[in-house]
Amino acid sequence: LVFVFGLEPGSPPVDAILIILAVILAASTMQVAGGIDWMVAMAAKAIRKRPKQVTLIAPLMSFVFCLGAGTGNIVYPLLPVIYDVSYQAKVRPSRPLAMTVVVSGIALACSPVSAAMAAMITLTDVAPYNFSMVEVLSVTVPAALIGIFLTSLVIGRSGKELEDDPEFQARVADGRLSAIAQGSSAPELTFTKEGRNAAYIFLAAVMGIVIFWFFPDLRPTITVEGVTEPIGVTPIIQMLMFTAAGVMILVCKPKVKDVPESSVFKAGIVSAVALFGLAWLTDTFIAAWETEIVDTVGGWVNSWPAEFLIGVFLVAALTTSQSTATRTIVPIGLAVGLSPAAVSAMWAGGFAGVFTLPTNGSQIAAANFDETGTTKLGTKLLDHSFILPVLVLAITTAVPGVIIANLLY
């Protein structure tokens, strides 16, 4: 665009990348210290308490802990527990497994420390929108909870009951799977004291971010050109996350050399690189053609606002990255005149699109853990067990979210 077509380079999302790097360091340090093990053990305990409601409880636990940790990686160790609980309760395992995986996607629109939220607030919490993270969360969190509840009602009635499923019956008949017996086959998940403390430290930093956002008078002040004002939340997020990582190293004694090798660190760095390149490219293109984009896309969106939801959904599906979908589509939605609140609602719903294609690691893991064969990856690209939760959750999150946005703002 610059060398061939002569466009002026856009602005790379430096603030968002710095937030992501700080959060990645803290979250991966927590993982190495055992903090994610503690989170997973707590979630597993809650799931086992109500086995008959596993299709609702498991996705809610996925939502809560993905929200707190800012990453969807927490669902991996939960999958065998969810399978075991649903199997013993005679619940079709594909229901809670598929729901849990898809919910981990929209949870990142509700997390103060996700890469997607870092990208979002650098777009909305600026003039002329001045729509802060707290205001984004006031739309996305209740919308997501409504979506999870409604989707669990739909998915809870999808497919045949486990004991009536022909694939399950065939596996029992040929000896690949034993008949349902009482008792759990999955081992109890354990954690260490250091892991618990690491999780406490990380979650305390997350709460600190929210508190400083709610109460700007608590922030340190700086004077610029004679004007004294609180420092922005962007550097506060970076400071608190780096501080949390340092405290975890001192208190919990993780193996620091293992931090760059952790799954959270690797996934986070990939997100940062993708965000850097694609967001810079998008900003360069939109800045050069803003008038044409606003006139053309604006007409579509004004006639049918769901166009924006479809845009986020499709980009998330094709890139499997919430942060990339954010930096690519949200600027267009804001530029054509959608309110930041409505954008936030449809942005959250669109994140379900990440699991449209059965190519994500968590989808493959869920299918592999389900020994009954009810969780399928399909053979025709869209005939997998996750597609119904994806579509239903996108709609049941976005529509209530828009209603909430209109009521609040």
pLDDT tops 80 at residue 311: yes
Q: Give yes or no for a contact between 100 and 82, defined as CB atoms under 8 angstroms apart.
A: yes
- Residue 298 confidence (pLDDT): 64
**pLDDT value of position 108:** 94
Q: What is the pLDDT of residues 197-218, one digit of tens each?
A: 999 999 999 899 889 888 888 9
**Is the pLDDT confidence value at 179 over 70?**
no
Map tokens 């340090």 to a residue: 29
What the block records as the tokens of 74 is 């927490």
Quick one: average pLDDT of 323-332? 86
Burial of 158 (0-12, 13-18, 19+ CB in 10 A): middle
Give the residue among 179, 144, 163, 188 at the shortest CA–CA distance from 45: 188
pLDDT of residue 45: 87
Mean pLDDT over each residue of the chain, to the nearest integer? 88
Q: Which two tokens stand for residue 168?
A: 């399950």
**Residues 75-100, mean pLDDT to the nearest whole number:** 90
**Alpha carbons 284 and 281: distance in angstroms, whole number:** 5
Does the pLDDT of residue 378 top 60, yes or no?
yes
| Peptide bond before residue 128 is cis, with ω within 30 degrees of 0 | yes
The answer to whether residues 374 and 168 touch, using CB atoms and an 8 Å cutoff, is yes
Q: What is the largest CA-CA distance in the chain?
A: 80
- The Cα 354–Cα 182 span in angstroms is 36
SS (H, E, C) the chain: CCCCCCCCCCCCCHHHHHHHHHHHHHHHHHHHHCHHHHHHHHHHHHHHHCHHHHHHHHHHHHHHHHHHHCCHHHHHHHHHHHHHHHHHCCCCCHHHHHHHHHHHHHHHHCCCCCHHHHHHHHHHCCCCCCCCHHHHHHHHHHHHHHHHHHHHHHHCCCCCCHHHCHHHHHHHHCCCCCCCCCCCCCCCCCCCHHHHHHHHHHHHHHHHHHHHHHCHHHCCEEEECCEEEECCHHHHHHHHHHHHHHHHHHHHCCCHHHHHHCHHHHHHHHHHHHHHHHHHHHHHHHHHCHHHHHHHHHHHHHHCCHHHHHHHHHHHHHHCCHHHHHHHHHHHHHHCCCCHHHHHHHHHHHHHHHHCCCCCHHHHHHHHHCCCCCCCCCCCCCCCCCHHHHHHHHHHHHHHHHHHHHHHC
CB atoms within 10 A of CB 176: 11
Q: What does the alpha-carbon distance between residue 407 and residue 341 come to, in Å, rounded to a whole number?
A: 10
How large is the average pLDDT for residues 232-247?
A: 92
* Least confidently predicted of 239-253, 276-290, 351-365: 276-290
User: What pLDDT shows up at residue 141?
Assistant: 97
pLDDT of residue 279: 76
More reliable by pLDDT, 299 or 2: 2
Q: What percent of the chain has pLDDT over 90?
A: 45
Q: How far, CA to CA in Å, does 209 sit from each of 203, 335, 356? A: 10, 28, 32
**For the segment 14-33, what is each residue's pLDDT rounded down to a tens digit?**
888 888 899 899 999 999 99
Burial of 326 (0-12, 13-18, 19+ CB in 10 A): buried
pTM for this entry: 0.83
What spatial distance separates the first Cα and last Cα of the chain, rounded to whole Å? Answer: 38
